Amino acid sequence: MLALGKLLELTLAGREPAQKTQLTVDGVRMRWLSEGALEVRPPEARDNGLDLLLSAGIHGNETAPIELLDRLLHAIARGDLKPRARILFLFGNPEAMRRGERYIEQDVNRLFNGRHEQSSGSEALRACELERLASTFFSLPERGRLHYDLHTAIRGSKIEQFALYPWKEGRTHSRLELARLRAAGMQAVLLQNKPSIVFSSFTYDKLGAEAFTLELGKARPFGQNEGVDVSRLETRLQQIIEGTEPPLDGNLEGLQLFSVAREIIKHSDQFQLNLPADIENFSELEPGYVLAEDIAQMRWVVEEEGARIIFPNPKVKNGLRAGILIVPNNAETLL
């Protein structure tokens, strides 16, 4: 196997490869760009016009997606997986990966779309570098652009595998992309309705990619991901990479769709989230429930029918989102 296929090993060791570019026996070029970043380019005659960005490790302790990308890279380096798409593999926060921590000082996935410019430190610099790498990769004209940013959650979930679909004014969420997510094992999709500061929102908003944050289960240490079943996603990614994906028909049967009703923003150290510490994502909340309280008699009271909570986290920094209240949606507005 080519040494560059061991990107994860290099990243965890904090080493640069001796050779920055290597070719597989099939003429696939693998090029090391910077720490945790590797570009894969198929021979021109096999290139089908798709640019695929696969990122993981934006949170360093979310290891199942990292291991998934590692398997795909190994297969390419061995010549078992024969790409027809250009691919950029990114491990987002190498230092946090080495320490087994979610982040070191700042959550990298809250530093995109201009936020890193308002901050400092190594993770703000890394977010800036990730934007630069993605921008360069998606700079070629007249090509398809697809980005999957792979995560696992810090808590359990009543719907284990789900996706977040960014929003941009003037763009419509794609029914075919939702069908692809369904085929990849996603059980639900949250259709966002405002700009965001996460990585997938940057590539969707600024770079014109179809982009998604994928949540694949609960975060566990390296080597302990037997309970995280990514087999359907792995198969679909292999098919996308090799250009053998079955045709998509827009079938969304069984895929649950949700919209954002409100975000709960933590404004002060007095913020109180009135939920059990071990509450699972997608837990339902009854109308009238006092969800959260903060300074100046600020209260978040559940008003929506069928409301559920995702990503509740009262420990975020002041000014950041401490949870999202979501409601069921339907597919009538989708193309």
Q: What amino acid positions are annotated as catalytic residues?
A: 215
Is the distance from CB of 53 to CB of 132 less than 8 angstroms? Answer: no
Strands 144-153 and 210-218: parallel
Cα angle value 75/100/322 (rounded, 5°): 110
Q: How many CB atoms lie within 10 A of CB 269?
A: 8
Residue 314 Cα to chain centre, angstroms: 22
How far is Cα 234 from Cα 248, in angstroms, rounded to an integer?
17
CA angle 96, 109, 111 (to 5 degrees): 105
- Beta pairing, strands 188-191 & 162-165: parallel
**What pairs with residue 321 in β-bridges?**
265
Distance separating alpha carbons of residues 152 and 98, to the nearest angstrom: 17
Cα 306 from Cα 69, distance rounded (Å):
36
Torsion of CA 13, 14, 15, 16, to 10 degrees: 140
Strand order in the sheet with 298-301: 272-273, 290-294, 298-301
For residue 231, the SS3 value is helix
**Measured between alpha carbons, how far is 22 from 141 in angstroms, rounded to an integer?**
25
Those residues whose C-beta lies under 8 Å from the C-beta of residue 145, and which sit 6 or more positions away, are: 51, 53, 138, 203, 207, 208, 209, 210
Asked whether the beta carbons of 155 and 279 are under 8 A apart, the reply is: yes
Hey, what amino acid is at 42?
A: P
What is d(CA 240, CA 233) in angstroms, rounded to the nearest whole number?
10
